[in-house]
Structure 1
């Protein structure tokens, strides 16, 4: 199979975020399946390839993997002579993709978005990985309610948390935590509310790893269900919705959850996100992409892309047909 070149702007502190960690985890998994390496494109870093150097050399038989949503629209034209795939996390960046660029999404929510926006591109679903450290460790849970300040709404931090602090032990984490798995195993309830955060950013929640990690550690999760969170959260079944109608309603449900044991999450449910199953799926997708690029090299596409101009043309045709039928009825 062709080698994979994972493109990221850089790996230093300025680029630290969930998207980078997810990409590095996938790179590590890919290296256990075939040949894969990291390429930076905004800054040179010791030990990593630099995109400018790669493009100055003869075309490589490898596949470039782009993922940084705000940069994809500029990167794809630079990579035009090469096989490229888009590893899609969030949605809503506003760009389109050429028919010949496959999409590998981290959530079914993102898959549905690209299935509508680019229906003729090869599209695959490959979820992010939950590390084995996120597991029920049987520790003493000395934190009643855990909130991570980053991405949390003002409602959660300024309104609900103060109300909860009158009734139970609330830990609001706004500092670096070396082990989230340890923190989740010390907590009974985990609150996550990212809908407003992503609305301000103008893009979607790509996957929402932390609520799933908390569930794996035995926390009772109260969360928003926006974007990729809708993939696995099922309010009333494996979680509860946060910010639902009224803070008093949230308060009643959270305090009730603290007074009864959290039912263990199904191990079968978690398997889809564990490394062995994701690795197996990655191998199948990688092989399919390799076959697609073999075909693409020998054949052009005969399917018209879905563009705004084409959609407007089809709408005008539809309106014309409806107008014609109305005229016939009026005669």
Structure 2
């Protein structure tokens, strides 16, 4: 198989976040299938490859940073490139010569409509083994992460809950998030407003699943990719349920009646390495086959552009008039 280069703007504190962590975990999975390495392109880093220095190598370049994608696609137009798609809605298009690997079915559906001539695969993010129920004492009632949280959650719900129970608000990076989730009874997540402000989508939504895996009762929005796995009433609760008073009542009830999780283990199995590595091996085998044969063909599948939609609509109207 061809070597894989995972392109990242950088790996330092400046870029630390869920997207970087998810990409690095995917890299680690890929290294169980073939040779793979991180390549930075915004900044040079010690002991890390830099894009300018590897352009001559026979490899597959994995691009994922949405805001940088159009520029990277132009620069790598003569190379084998795969788009690892997390969030959707950036507004750019992807040429048919660039296969797409999506981290959620929601994102796969988006690109299935936007990139009719592209190869598209589904490969979800990994939930690391550290995210499991460690059977520890739960000394925190409610955990909330400030980042991506709605104003409703931070300004209405949290103040009311703080007067009734013990709430921990996280507003900085946590080294042991799994350990924190194992101390909490309830986890709150509400990202629809955050993504709506930017016109983008929740690409996967790792924190709610990680909290569930650690035994938390989860109250969450169900926007975009969160709907891939969240099932209100069965494995979570829908936050922002009609009124803040009703939310407080339901959350306090979950705190007071908390018990060890009874969720089926197979809920998390598709996101663990045991199932992810074989899936990735199949995808990478197909991608290598595609890049072997791609030069033999010219892409002739029309994209569903605004112009083409107008053309199809007018043609349909004309045919109706003729009939």
Same fold flag (TM > 0.5): yes
**CA–CA separation in structure 1 for the residues paired with 2:17 and 2:180:** 19
Counterpart for residue 235 of structure 1: 232
Counterpart for residue 92 of structure 2: 95
Structure 1 residue runs of 5 or longer lacking an equivalent are: 326-331
**CA–CA separation in structure 2 for the residues paired with 1:35 and 1:216:** 30
Counterpart for residue 174 of structure 1: 171
**CA–CA separation in structure 1 for the residues paired with 2:239 and 2:27:** 34
> What is the aligned counterpart of 1:271 among 248, 269, 272?
269
> What is the aligned counterpart of 1:292 among 290, 293, 312?
290
**CA–CA separation in structure 1 for the residues paired with 2:110 and 2:303:** 16
**CA–CA separation in structure 1 for the residues paired with 2:246 and 2:116:** 41
Worse-matched range after superposition: 137-146 or 259-268: 259-268
Counterpart for residue 124 of structure 2: 127
**CA–CA separation in structure 2 for the residues paired with 1:176 and 1:295:** 45
- Cα deviations by residue, 1:279-320 (Å, 9 ceiling, x for unpaired): 111111000111111121222223222222212111111222
1:125 Cα deviation after fit: 0.4
1:74 Cα deviation after fit: 1.2
Is 2:297 the counterpart of 1:311?
A: no
Counterpart for residue 161 of structure 2: 164
1:31 Cα deviation after fit: 1.1
Larger radius of gyration: 1
1:221 Cα deviation after fit: 0.1
1:251 Cα deviation after fit: 1.3
Secondary structure of residue in 1 paired with 2:46: coil
> What is the aligned counterpart of 2:145 among 145, 148, 162?
148
CA separation of 1:156 and 1:13: change in aligned 2, threshold 3 A = same
1:84 Cα deviation after fit: 0.6
**CA–CA separation in structure 2 for the residues paired with 1:125 and 1:185:** 30
1:166 Cα deviation after fit: 2.3
Aligned partners of 2:116 and 2:301 also within 8 Å: no
- Cα deviations by residue, 1:31-81 (Å, 9 ceiling, x for unpaired): 1211111111111112122112223x3xx3211110000111111111111
1:132 Cα deviation after fit: 0.6
TM-score after normalising by structure 2: 0.96
> What is the aligned counterpart of 1:206 among 184, 203, 206?
203
Counterpart for residue 13 of structure 2: 13
Q: What is the RMSD of the two structures over their aligned residues, measured on CA atoms?
A: 1.3
Is 2:319 the counterpart of 1:321?
A: yes
TM-score after normalising by structure 1: 0.94
Aligned partners of 2:116 and 2:302 also within 8 Å: no
Counterpart for residue 114 of structure 2: 117
Is 2:187 the counterpart of 1:193?
A: no
**CA–CA separation in structure 2 for the residues paired with 1:292 and 1:267:** 36
1:259 Cα deviation after fit: 2.8
1:244 Cα deviation after fit: 2.1
Is 2:49 the counterpart of 1:69?
A: no
**CA–CA separation in structure 2 for the residues paired with 1:222 and 1:117:** 32
Secondary structure of residue in 2 paired with 1:71: helix
> What is the aligned counterpart of 1:222 among 219, 223, 245?
219
Secondary structure of residue in 1 paired with 2:218: strand
